[in-house]
C-alpha cells in the first residue's frame, strides 16, 4: 500500500527551482532514503511534506488524502513528524519534558481539565509520562529522563530528537540527517533504532549523506540533483547508476 504519494512536486523561490516535477511513492512500513548534493532540494522536499513550505505546484497524498499545503500543525495531526538537520531541542527542559511537548496534540483533556487539573487531566498526564518513557527507552535514553537536554552529549541529543518526533505518534517519520556529526559506532546505533522502529510498524523517510548507512538500511533510494529526481530504486541499482555517480557520488564511492 502507498502510504505517501508525491506527484509533480515543484517549488520555486523566485528564479530558483528548488524542486521541479518530483514524483515518488513510499510504501507502508518501508525505509526510504533521499540523497543528493547540497542544494539538491532535499530539505525543501521535507518542508513541503510537513507544511513548512507551500509547493508552487504538485500534489501530496498521505494514505490517499490530499494534504498539499497543510499547515505544520495539521500535518502532525494527519500523522507526519520529523527531525531537523540542526538540532532543535528545548534546551532548558528535561529530556522527558521535551518528549511530553510533542504529545499535547494527543491529550484528550480540554481547557477546563488543564486549568483545574481534574481527574481526566491527571489520567492523561500519567499516560503521557508513561508513553514518554517508552519512547525514551526505544532510543536508549530511559536513564536520562530527568537530565536537562542541553547537558546531553551530542549523539544523545540526536536520539532525543527522534524520541520527540515519535511522541507525536506519526505514521510517517521523516529524519533529516539523523547521523550528522556522529562517529561510526553512533551511526550504527542509529541504524539499529531505525530498524527497530520499522519492526514497530513505522514508515521512515530519511535524508542522509552517510552512504554506508543509506546502502545498508534503505529499501529504496531517491536521488535529487538541482531539484530534479535523477534516479530512484533499490541500493543495488543506485550504486551502479551512471547519472548518480556522475552528478553526486563520484566514481568509486559506492563500491
Q: Which residues contact 16 (CB under 8 A, 6 or more apart)?
A: none
Record the cell numbers describing residue 139, joined without a space.
Answer: 532510543
Record the cell numbers describing residue 102, joined without a space.
Answer: 510533542
What is the model's pLDDT at position 246? 82
- pLDDT at residue 245 greater than cutoff 90: no
What is the model's pLDDT at position 106? 57
From 46, 20, 44, 17, select the one nearest 32 (Cα to Cα).
46
* Fold equal for 1-79+171-255 and 88-169: yes
C-alpha count within 13 angstroms, C-beta hemisphere, residue 198: 18
Domain boundaries, the chain: 1-79+171-255, 88-169
What is the model's pLDDT at position 137? 96
CB distance 206 to 33 below 8 Å:
yes
CATH number of 1-79+171-255: 3.40.50.300
Rounded Cα distance between 150 and 129, Å, is 20
Strand 80-82 with 172-176, pairing: parallel
The band of 35, judged by pLDDT with boundaries at 50, 70 and 90, is: very high
Backbone angles phi, psi at 229, to 5 degrees: -75, 115
C-alpha count within 13 angstroms, C-beta hemisphere, residue 145: 14
Which sign does the torsion angle of CA 154, 155, 157, 161 carry? positive
CATH number of 88-169: 3.40.50.300
From 30, 72, 35, 33, select the one nearest 54 (Cα to Cα).
72
What is the model's pLDDT at position 44? 97
Q: Work out the mean pLDDT of the chain and round it to a whole number.
A: 90
Q: How many residues does the chain have?
A: 255
Q: Which residues contact 218 (CB under 8 A, 6 or more apart)?
A: 31, 32, 33, 234, 235
58-108 per-position pLDDT tens digit = 999 999 999 999 999 999 999 999 999 888 898 899 999 999 988 766 555
CA 152 to chain centre: 21
Amino acid at each position: 500500500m502507498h502510504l505517501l504519494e508525491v506527484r509533480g512536486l515543484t517549488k520555486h523561490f523566485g528564479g530558483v527551482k528548488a524542486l521541479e516535477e518530483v514524483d515518488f511513492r513510499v510504501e507502508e512500513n518501508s525505509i526510504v532514503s533521499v540523497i543528493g548534493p547540497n542544494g539538491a532540494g532535499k530539505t525543501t522536499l521535507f518542508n513541503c511534506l510537513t507544511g513548512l513550505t507551500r509547493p508552487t505546484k504538485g500534489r501530496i497524498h498521505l494514505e490517499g488524502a490530499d494534504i498539499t499545503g497543510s499547515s505544520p500543525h495539521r500535518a502532525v495531526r494527519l500523522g507526519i513528524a520529523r527531525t531537523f538537520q540542526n538540532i532543535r531541542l528545548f534546551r532548558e527542559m528535561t529530556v522527558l519534558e521535551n518528549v511530553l511537548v510533542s504529545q499535547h496534540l494527543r491529550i484528550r483533556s480540554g481547557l477546563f481539565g488543564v486549568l483545574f487539573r481534574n481527574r481526566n487531566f491527571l489520567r492523561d498526564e500519567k499516560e503521557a509520562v508513561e508513553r514518554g518513557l517508552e519512547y525514551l527507552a526505544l532510543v536508549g535514553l530511559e536513564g536520562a529522563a530527568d537530565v536537562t537536554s542541553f547537558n546531553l552529549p551530542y549523539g544523545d541529543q540526536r536520539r532525543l530528537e527522534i524520541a520527540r518526533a515519535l511522541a507525536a505518534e506519526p505514521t510517517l517519520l521523516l529524519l533529516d540527517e539523523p547521523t550528522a556529526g556522529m562517529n561510526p559506532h553512533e551511526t550504527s546505533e542509529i541504524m539499529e533504532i531505525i530498524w527497530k522502529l520499522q519492526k514497530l510498524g513505522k514508515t521512515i523517510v530519511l535524508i542522509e549523506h552517510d552512504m554506508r548507512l543509506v546502502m545498508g538500511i534503505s529499501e529504496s533510494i531517491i536521488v535529487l540533483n538541482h531539484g530534479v529526481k535523477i534516479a530512484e530504486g533499490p541500493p543495488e541499482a543506485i550504486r551502479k547508476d551512471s547519472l548518480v555517480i556522475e552528478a553526486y557520488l563520484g566514481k568509486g564511492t559506492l563500491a
